[in-house]
Amino acid sequence: SAVISQKPSRDICQRGTSLTIQCQVDSQVTMMFWYRQQPGQSLTLIATANQGSEATYESGFVIDKFPISRPNLTFSTLTVSNMSPEDSSIYLCSVGGQETQYFGPGTRLLVL
Amino acid sequence: EDQVTQSPEALRLQEGESSSLNCSYTVSGLRGLFWYRQDPGKGPEFLFTLYSAGEEKEKERLKATLTKKESFLHITAPKPEDSATYLCAVRSTTDSWGKFQFGAGTQVVVTP
């Protein structure tokens, strides 16, 4: 299994600002995934990030709101732009293949 | 549309009191069913992958089973350290690579 780290682990932000979340993996992986887990709810896939290509966004998520970078095979960033209180969630990155996905520890975001 | 429903939402057990969690799913074609454990403030931790009806997997006090419509996670003689939220997810044969559909989870509390 991969070891995944995320920065920051938590943050409190003001509405209208943006936050960039970093995800680092200890091995090279083809695909990385970004999820959102809103309070008391299930995990929802935001987008899939491949190295060297545009991220693929799920229905309801757009690049202008959640721009993603994937500069190499061990690193990705997710930016939450122009934040509102509704963006308060845990944001998780994950990596995996056919068998399963492994998750990072998450970034807990509170927007005031 | 793929759906995953977990029940109960919450479960309170005495130490040693065995019980089962349910995960009902609807998918066009099952590529795999996954169980995760999530502790507060942490990312989901992978437990099991099941691929076909009749398959069973075990790990310590946990046993996962799979039918064509649902999966059960049996907790035998639980201990307080088994307290966590247990998440079920499915991958469909028709979904894009890596798209997991998660259930809302079952929060388990085991008291001494």
Task: Give the pLDDT confidence of A81-104 residue by residue, as tens digits.
Answer: 999 999 999 999 999 866 788 999
Domain ranges in chain B are 3-111
Would you give the end-to-end CA distance of chain B in angstroms? 41
Q: Give yes or no for a contact between A76 and A91, defined as CB atoms under 8 angstroms apart.
A: no
Contacts of B82 (CB under 8 A, 6+ apart): B61, B62, B75, B108, B110
Question: Which 3 state secondary structure label does DSSP give A87?
Answer: helix
| Burial of residue A71 (number of CB atoms within 10 Å: 0-12, 13-18, 19+) | exposed
Q: Positive or negative, the Cα torsion across B79, B81, B87, B91?
A: negative
Q: Give yes or no for a contact between B82 and B102, defined as CB atoms under 8 angstroms apart.
A: no
Among B6, B47, B97, which would you mutate to test the A interface (most chain A Cβ atoms within 10 Å of its Cβ)?
A: B97
Which amino acid appears at position A77 of this protein?
Answer: T
Residue B66 has a pLDDT of 97
Tell me the pLDDT tens digit for each residue of A33-49: 999 999 888 899 999 99
Which residue would you say has higher pLDDT here, A2 or B23? B23
Among B37, B42, B49, B88, which would you mutate to test the A interface (most chain A Cβ atoms within 10 Å of its Cβ)?
A: B42
| CATH 1.20.210.10 fits domain B3-111 | no
Question: Which 3 state secondary structure label does DSSP give A86?
Answer: helix
**Chain B hits for A96, Cβ within 8 Å:** 98
**Count of C-beta atoms within a 10 Å radius of residue A59:** 6
Question: Does the distance separating the beta carbons of B103 and A101 come in below 8 Å?
Answer: no
Residue B97 has a pLDDT of 64
Q: B13 to chain A nearest CA, in Å? A: 21
User: Which residue from B46, B87, B98 is facing A48, i.e. has the nearest CB?
Assistant: B98
Which stretches of chain B score pLDDT less than 50? Answer: none
Residue the block writes with tokens 């995800």: A23
Domain ranges in chain A are 18-99
Question: Does the distance separating the beta carbons of A33 and B98 come in below 8 Å?
Answer: yes
User: Which residue from B42, B98, B103 is facing A101, i.e. has the nearest CB?
Assistant: B98
What backbone torsions phi and psi does residue B35 show, to the nearest 5 degrees? -115, 135
Q: A68 to chain B nearest CA, in Å? A: 17
Q: Which CATH class is domain A18-99?
A: mainly beta
| Burial of residue A64 (number of CB atoms within 10 Å: 0-12, 13-18, 19+) | exposed
**B80: preceding bond cis by omega (within 30 degrees):** no
Both tokens assigned to B93: 């044969």
**Strand positions, DSSP E, chain B:** 3-7, 10-14, 19-26, 30-38, 45-50, 56-59, 62-66, 70-75, 84-92, 101-102, 106-111
Residue A99 has a pLDDT of 72
